[in-house]
């Protein structure tokens, strides 16, 4: 544990779990796609919730990439 600074360890764990959650969410959606399509037909609000959730997830992935990029470039140090 002493080899990894605590802040990096905590943020890294958080990012890993976030990435895993996003991937699992995509898999879940693919597996139950026809249910979601039915749900959207029944309640249109779900369409917007789903749409903005996916956009936010893509943005999250990018922010994780950006964070790693900033560590790589030496702009963020632990």
Partner 1 sequence: MDVKKIAITGITAGLCLPLALFAIILVPIPGLPAASGFWIPAGFYFVMTLWFGLWGALGGHIATTIAMGYFFGYTLHIWMNGGIGDLIAPLVCLIIFKVTKARPDLRSRKDIAVWVVAVVISSLVCGLWVHTIHLFFGIITWPSWYIGVLTYLIGDTMAVLAVGTPLLKSLTDYVKQSPMYIWK
Which residues in this chain contact partner 1 in the complex, by CB under 8 A? 37, 40-41, 44, 47-48, 50-52, 54-56, 58-59, 62-63, 66, 69-70, 75
Helices 6-31 and 45-72: angle between axes, nearest 10 degrees: 150
The minimum distance between CB 42 and partner 1, in angstroms, equals 11
Pick the closer one to partner 1 by CB: 27 or 63: 63
Helix (H) or strand (E) holding 62: helix 45-72
Rounded to a whole number of angstroms, the minimum distance from the CB of residue 11 to partner 1 is 15
- 7: Cα within 13 Å, side-chain hemisphere: 4
């Amino acid at each position: 544990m002493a080899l990894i600074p605590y802040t990096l360890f905590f943020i890294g764990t958080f990012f890993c779990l976030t990435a895993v959650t996003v991937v699992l969410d995509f898999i879940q959606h693919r597996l139950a796609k026809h249910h979601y399509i039915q749900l959207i037909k029944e309640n249109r609000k779900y369409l917007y919730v789903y749409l903005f959730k996916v956009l936010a997830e893509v943005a999250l992935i990018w922010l994780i990439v950006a964070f790693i990029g900033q560590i790589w470039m030496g702009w963020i140090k632990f």
